[in-house]
Structure 1
Amino acid sequence: MAPQIVLMTGCSAGIGLATAKRLALDIDQRYIVIASVIAMSEKANLVAAVGGSLNKTIFIRELDVTNDTNISDVVRDVIREHGRIDILISVAGVGFVEIPERVTREQIDKIFSVNTIGPIRLAQAVLPHMKKRKAGRIVIVSSDMSRQAWPYFDLYCATKFGVEGFFEALASSVRAFNIRVCLVEPGPITTGLLDSLQNDLQKLINDKTVDDIELRQLLGLNRDLSDMERTRSAEDVAADLTTRCLDVDEPVLRHLLLDDKFMSATREALADLTGESTVTFMRNQLGH
């Protein structure tokens, strides 16, 4: 069987790098990966990770998911060079922590452009090709924060809720074309993104202009996040993504990747249609 052609975003670090490496080094060589980074200056870790597989089972491309022309060019070139795109995996993402009313329009535009509009535009670019072939997989790496919104992560959560709304709707209409959509929702893991978010949180705590009530809540959230065990790694998510979304014939839509203790709390909160269980849970995280 010919290797499947995989187009990926966000491959310079974290989950994207781990997934690209896993697919490129697949022992049965089931995949040819076109791994994208926002700039070629960001490719060093990926090059080191894949070793001798570079330009054999993995090829690196520059792709800015906020640039429509760049998206169209990359999708066109991949189809021309490899004949098709079997799998699209969108991983690229950014985030920040901030007091909601202090978020600037520039910050809002950037985070939605990368986290929400980027994956949507990429899907729009590959869908005509996949529909014509009546085959394909679209995998979106989202977050558990698409299920429960965390305070002070407001805009990050909004982007994840938004992208999941689009792809949940899409999943139903494209099944008739034999296209499967998967939403992968990791919880806290050991990546640079979570470290960056916690750094943002610490800066807010040290900001002397922050209101006393706000400060108490930020301190509570910081304690909760600091005590949270990060028992899962980017490699764990890459393994789950592969086995749940690529190795099965009919993958389900959602894949919430949480440890048992977090899964039970999330399940209980989501079962409450009023939303008050989530509000209570999050207020507890803030120290109330």
Structure 2
Amino acid sequence: MAPQIVLMTGSSSGIGLVMAQRLARDPDHRFIVIATVIAMSEKNDLEAAVKDDIEKTVFIKELDITNDEHITEVVEDVISSHGRIDVLINIAGIALPAIAERVSREKIDKIFNVNVIGTIRLTQAVLPHMKEQQSGKIITFSSITGKIGFPYSEFYCASKFALEGFFESLAGGLRAFKIRVCLIEPTQVESALWDWILHQMESLANDQTLSEIDRRQNRITHARSKEGTRMPADDVVGAVITRCLDVDEPVLRHLLAPGETCDVLQKTLADLTGEAGISAFGF
């Protein structure tokens, strides 16, 4: 059987880098990976991780998902070079711990352009090809924060809620084309991004220009986040391979979290008033 052609974003670090490496080195050689980075200056870690597989089972390309022309060029190049796209994996994203009223329009635009609009535009570019071949998988990284809101991460949560709404809506219409949509919803993941988020939380907790209430609540948030269980990126990637890539007809949602987190989430989502979610933070 011919290898599946996988186009993926966010390959320069974290989950994306591990995903590119795992798929490129699949023992059964089931995948050819087009691993994209926002700029070629960001490819060093990825290149080192897959150096023996470059131009064999993995091809590194530059892709800025906030640039429509760039999206079109990359998708057309993949189709021209490999004949098809079997799997799209949307991983690229940025976070923004902050005080809501202090976030500039520029930062709001950036997080939505990357996390939402860019992801949607790339999916739009791939869809005609998948519909024509009447097969495909679209795997998008959301988050547990796409299910419940977290104070001081309002814009990140909003971007993930938007992804959940778009891809859940998209999934129903694509089943007749034999295209499956998967939403990956991990809790905290061991990565440089999560370390940066913790640092930003700590900075907010110590920012003397904030009210004592905001500082206190950020101290609580930081302490809980620091003590919380983190999933290794390799475990997240393994779950995606097992649940989505190894399965012909995967389900839509894939929550990757410890049991206690799942229990809190279930209780929160079952409360139609929304008060369970607010009280869970214990402020």
> Structure 2-normalised TM-score?
0.98
TM-superposition CA deviations, 1:114-146 (whole Å, max 9, x none): 001111001100001111111110000111100
CA distance in 2, matches of 1:7, 1:252: 20
* Deviation at residue 63 of structure 1 after TM alignment: 0.3
Give the 3-state SS of the residue equivalent to 1:125 in structure 2.
helix
1:166-181 → structure 2 map (5 Å cutoff): 166-181=166-181
What is the match of residue 39 of structure 2?
A: 39
Moved more, 209-218 or 68-77: 209-218
Check if 1:82 corresponds to 2:82.
Answer: yes
Contact 1:96 1:196 in 2 (8 A): no
TM-superposition CA deviations, 1:21-67 (whole Å, max 9, x none): 11000011000000000111111111111131111000000000100
Q: Which runs of 5+ in 1 are unaligned?
A: none
* Deviation at residue 156 of structure 1 after TM alignment: 0.3
Check if 1:63 corresponds to 2:63.
Answer: yes
What is the match of residue 272 of structure 2?
A: 273
Task: Give aligned-pair identity as a percent.
Answer: 53
CA distance in 2, matches of 1:206, 1:215: 6
1:135-284 → structure 2 map (5 Å cutoff): 135-230=135-230, 232-282=231-281, 284=282
CA distance in 2, matches of 1:277, 1:206: 28
CA distance in 1, matches of 2:199, 2:32: 36
> Structure 1-normalised TM-score?
0.97
Q: Count matched residues.
A: 283
Give the 3-state SS of the residue equivalent to 1:11 in structure 2.
coil
Give the 3-state SS of the residue equivalent to 1:51 in structure 2.
coil
* Deviation at residue 96 of structure 1 after TM alignment: 1.4
4+ aligned runs moved over 3 Å, structure 1: none
* Deviation at residue 229 of structure 1 after TM alignment: 2.4
CA distance in 2, matches of 1:242, 1:67: 29
What is the match of residue 14 of structure 2?
A: 14
CA distance in 2, matches of 1:73, 1:227: 44
Q: Which amino acid aligns with 1:281?
A: A
Q: Which amino acid aligns with 1:277?
A: A
1:104-119 → structure 2 map (5 Å cutoff): 104-119=104-119
Report the aligned-residue RMSD. 0.8
Give the 3-state SS of the residue equivalent to 1:238 in structure 2.
helix
Contact 1:8 1:34 in 2 (8 A): yes
Give the 3-state SS of the residue equivalent to 1:53 in structure 2.
coil
Give the 3-state SS of the residue equivalent to 1:243 in structure 2.
helix
CA distance in 1, matches of 2:19, 2:253: 18
